[in-house]
Amino acid sequence: MKSSPSEFEIFWRTVLARAYPRVVGLSRNLSWLFFDFAFPLVGTFAMVFVYQGLHAPRQYLGFVVMGGGMLAFWQNVLWTMGTQFSWDRGNGTLELMAVSPTSFEAVLLGMAGGAMIMTTLRAVAIIVLGSLLFKVTYNLGGLPPAIGVFLLTLAALYGLGMLLASLFLYYSREAWHLGDAIQEPVNFLSGLYFPVHALGAYVGGAASLIPVTLGLDAMRQFLLPGTPRFLDPALETVIVALEIPLFAILAVSSLRFMEVRARREGKLISKWS
């Protein structure tokens, strides 16, 4: 008789199973591909034109183009990971996940892994296209450390995404509107379109809790010489690295708490209300 798979095996099977539709599904639904590509690109172009209207140095166009690349990840975390449980609840998948022997963490990790591959490709496309169109040049010597910071930022960002997703286990329309409401403030606080230095010590310090803020600033310092320094890029990298376990622990605790609350009040099976 075949023995039951271990918890470890179930965890990784779930990760792969949830990542699979994210990767394969994109080639089957070209409208998603268009949306994920077009949305950050259009927003990026708008901000480039603002700088051109202000006769800003070309270096600032580089800030915007890199910010546009990171926006693709933030959008992805917010709308296809954070809010995914809301869709899953609506179509009945959430209750199936809850009664299966797997965990929500595995499901979310699969979502993140699957989405990360495609979003990275899209972000690269945005940066390449934006850089060519607006003649942005980079310090290629800074590429290896920038890639390292980028990977750390992604890990922390997807931890934040898991934390947001936990809200959707319990809340319905409120959390959806929360996602809508935090989009623009995060764009502001993370300095997607301007150097973080411009936020000042207090606001910039508080905004450092968003992984994109320090990660993007460090990447800019490595790739765009002359970027006004908010913190030393090495220190920014360390802080982003510390945010990875911080958000992971918060996400797991929040998932447990929200799951218990949702089970107690029947929210796992309640539809959009």
Q: Does 195 bind another protein (CB under 8 A)?
A: yes
Instruction: Determine how many CB atoms are found less than 10 A away from the CB of residue 155.
Output: 20
Q: Does 199 bind another protein (CB under 8 A)?
A: yes
Q: Does 28 bind another protein (CB under 8 A)?
A: no
Q: Does 177 bind another protein (CB under 8 A)?
A: yes
Choose between 21 and 90: whose C-beta lies nearer to another protein. Answer: 90
**Interface with another protein (CB under 8 A), residue from 56, 125, 151, 250:** 56
| d(C-alpha 15, C-alpha 105), whole Å | 9
Q: Does 222 bind another protein (CB under 8 A)?
A: no
The SS3 of residue 139 is coil
Q: Does 47 bind another protein (CB under 8 A)?
A: yes
Q: Does 266 bind another protein (CB under 8 A)?
A: no
Would you say 166 and 254 are in contact if contact means Cβ atoms under 8 Å apart?
yes
Binding segment for another protein (CB under 8 A), chosen from 24-32, 119-127, 140-148, 208-216, is 24-32
| d(C-alpha 11, C-alpha 6), whole Å | 9
DSSP 2: P
Q: What residues contact residue 64 under an 8 Å CB cut-off, 6+ apart?
A: 44, 47, 48, 51, 130, 192, 193
Give the number of C-alpha atoms closer than 13 A to the C-alpha of residue 247, restricted to the C-beta side.
24
| d(C-alpha 108, C-alpha 114), whole Å | 10
**Interface with another protein (CB under 8 A), residue from 121, 151, 194, 225:** 194
Q: Does 45 bind another protein (CB under 8 A)?
A: yes
Q: Does 24 bind another protein (CB under 8 A)?
A: no
Residues lying near another protein in the complex (CB under 8 A) = 29, 31-32, 35, 38-39, 42-43, 45-47, 49-56, 60, 90-91, 173-174, 177, 180-181, 183-185, 187-188, 192-195, 198-199, 272
